[in-house]
Amino acid sequence: MSEYMIEVTDVNKSFGNGAKPVHVLDNVSFRVKKGEIVTLFGKSGCGKSTMLNIVGGFERADNGDVMHDGHPVERPTKRCVMLFQQINLLPWRSVIKNVELGLEEEKISAEEKKERVMDALKLVGLEEHLNKFPHELSGGMQQRVAIARALAIQPDVILMDEPFAALDSFNRYNLQNELLRIQEKKKTTIVLVTHDIDEAVYLSDRVMIMSSHPGRIFKEISINQMKPRDRTHGDFQYYRKKILEEFQLSDEQLAPEYNI
């Protein structure tokens, strides 16, 4: 059994097959250990969402290998769920019914379904709001419902594409803390996409800095600090600075064909 939950090897991806296809991902390789939180960090348009979509089976790579727990990724599965920046709850369903949605096709008993839904809602602190509708909830609470829906499925991997970007900083900090608490308990493997340096340093075990045009992994930085981390601590600032510096370097080292 491999210690890696996700293994991406030499993935290339271009869009468009006319005269000028856009080469978005160039020989991208990385691995994520079971229970790890790894962040893809990079400029807008560098291919972060594309990479996440390929890991989740929503897009196919042109070539290269993507493995999830030792099996090639061919299509989306319930073992690996995606959490988007746009919170996609169904407005006509209550909190509890939105979380149940993820389990609709699962072949499990009604009791187990109920139990999983309630466990997930408790984990995100929404057990008091079961019968509310999305429009009655704040943005932070809505994203909690989406997290609960993902957790109820009990996936091995949660892919998060800027999940907290739409929230104010107070809500964002709260949800980041909750995510760490839940992850500590469930040991879910998380691949996160963000362009918020603080978020990357606060949550990640490793940060993968990507360069753009085409998207490559430019540098990998391990964050060797106990969690929860102190955002005001010198070590935190050290990693913040290091990521920023590498990010600036990545921007200067554009591929020759773009370096004009």
Ligand X SMILES: Nc1ncnc2c1ncn2[C@@H]1O[C@H](COP(=O)(O)OP(=O)(O)OP(=O)(O)O)[C@@H](O)[C@H]1O
Question: Pattern 173-202, binding to ligand X, x per CB under 6 A?
Answer: ----------------------x-------
* Residue 45 lies near ligand X (rule: CB under 6 A): yes
Instruction: Write down the least CB distance from residue 159 to ligand X, Å.
Output: 12
Q: Is the Cβ of residue 56 or residue 134 nearer to Mg ion in the bound state?
A: 56
Residue among 10, 22, 74, 115 that touches ligand X (CB under 6 A): 22
Instruction: Write down the least CB distance from residue 120 to Mg ion, Å.
Output: 26
Residue among 5, 8, 38, 47 that touches ligand X (CB under 6 A): 47
Residue among 39, 49, 194, 211 that touches Mg ion (CB under 5 A): 49
In the 3-class helix/strand/coil scheme, how is the chain assigned residue by residue? CCCEEEEEEEEEEEECCCCCCEEEEEEEEEEEECCCEEEEECCCCCCHHHHHHHHCCCCCCCEEEEEECCEECCCCCCCEEEECCCCCCCCCCCHHHHHHHHHCCCCCCHHHHHHHHHHHHHHCCCCCCCCCCHHHCCHHHHHHHHHHHHHHCCCCEEEEECCCCCCCHHHHHHHHHHHHHHHHHHCCEEEEEECCHHHHHHHCCEEEEEECCCEEEEEEEECCCCCCCCCCCHHHHHHHHHHHHHHHHHHHCCCHHHCC
Q: Is the Cβ of residue 48 or residue 172 nearer to ligand X in the bound state?
A: 48
Residues 79 and 49 sit within 8 Å (Cβ to Cβ): no
* Residue 211 lies near ligand X (rule: CB under 6 A): no
Residue among 7, 11, 28, 48 that touches ligand X (CB under 6 A): 48
Residue among 50, 142, 183, 211 that touches ligand X (CB under 6 A): 50
Per CB under 6 A, the segment of 39-47, 103-111, 152-160, 175-183 that binds ligand X is 39-47
Per CB under 5 A, the segment of 47-55, 87-95, 113-121, 165-173 that binds Mg ion is 47-55
Q: Is the Cβ of residue 21 or residue 70 nearer to ligand X in the bound state?
A: 21
Instruction: Write down the least CB distance from residue 145 to ligand X, Å.
Output: 23
Name the nearest CA neighbour of 167 among 128, 138, 188, 208.
Answer: 138
Which chain residues interact with Mg ion by CB under 5 A? Answer: 49
Which chain residues interact with ligand X by CB under 6 A? Answer: 15-16, 22, 24, 42, 44-50, 195
